[in-house]
Amino acid sequence: MSFELPALPYDRHSLEPHLSATTLDAHYSGHHLACLKRLNARLENTGQTAGSLELLLWSEDEELAWLAAEAWNHTFYWHCLSPWGSATPDARLGADIDTTFGSLSALHDAIEAAALNHFGSGWLWLVRRSRGPLEIIITGDGQTALAADRTPLLGIDLWEHAWYLDYQNDRAAYLKAIRSLINWDFVTQNDLNPISIAPPAQ
């Protein structure tokens, strides 16, 4: 079995004018697909079975684990954006955001500040740690926030390929643009039904 490019949950033009179809084409059909092709080639070359992306995160083969993380991150990211999603989280998560960050607007400001403070490529995440507090974290390069002790609720791609065609070197403009694209229904569901990963049985 090899991994296939999962379908985008919306049309490539649907995120305009915030993110162009040109950007989605390059990002989804370019970078995401290339990552999966490289992952499949690595699996074939090493004679390993695919299983799931989540299981491959535990691989001792660093390249396999890195490629699985980057592939997982991208699928998660596409679902974090939506032209149709709710503009706010549900009441329970919203109250938690208010307690932790002050308000939804303050959370957006904190996300932008953290993302702008990060030098280089990576991912920004809103996570819930061990069913406890909410937290904003950054993972470098292709690393994922998915881990045994935390659940990612929201993931934002900070690689330049996510916005360069639309905003050139202006990461702040990209972050402001996707404020209105965040799919709070998906974020809320990630909090209600946490994604959990466990190491493979020995």
Nearer to Fe ion, 44 or 141 (CB): 141
**85: alpha, beta or left, given left = phi > 0 and alpha = psi -120 to 50?**
beta
Taking contact as CB under 5 A, which single stretch among the options 8-16, 117-125, 156-164, 173-181 is the one that binds Fe ion? 156-164
Consult the annotation and say whether 79 binds a ligand: no
Q: List the one residue from 78, 101, 159, 167 that touches Fe ion (CB under 5 A).
A: 159
Whether residue 135 contacts residue 149, with contact meaning beta carbons closer than 8 Å, is answered with no
Phi, psi of 69 (to 5 degrees): -65, -45
Consult the annotation and say whether 149 binds a ligand: no
Consult the annotation and say whether 161 binds a ligand: yes
Beta bridge partners of 125: 137, 155
Least distance (Å) from Fe ion to the CB of residue 157? 4
Q: Return the number of other C-beta atoms located less than 10 Å from residue 118's C-beta.
A: 16
Whether residue 41 contacts residue 66, with contact meaning beta carbons closer than 8 Å, is answered with no
User: Of residues 42-101, which lie at the interface with Fe ion (CB under 5 A)?
Assistant: none
Told to check if 157 binds Fe ion by CB under 5 A, we report: yes
* Amino acid identity, position 173: A
Nearer to Fe ion, 89 or 142 (CB): 142
**Counting Cβ atoms within 10 Å, is residue 143 exposed (0-12), middle (13-18) or buried (19+)?**
middle
Least distance (Å) from Fe ion to the CB of residue 50? 21
Name the residue number minimizing CB distance to Fe ion: 157
Dihedral, 127, 130, 134, 140 alpha carbons, nearest 10: -30
Least distance (Å) from Fe ion to the CB of residue 45? 24
* Amino acid identity, position 153: L
Told to check if 123 binds Fe ion by CB under 5 A, we report: no
Least distance (Å) from Fe ion to the CB of residue 174? 12
Query: Residues annotated as binding site?
Result: 27, 74, 157, 161
Site residues, Fe ion (CB under 5 A): 157, 159
Query: Residues annotated as binding site for Mn(2+)?
Result: 27, 74, 157, 161
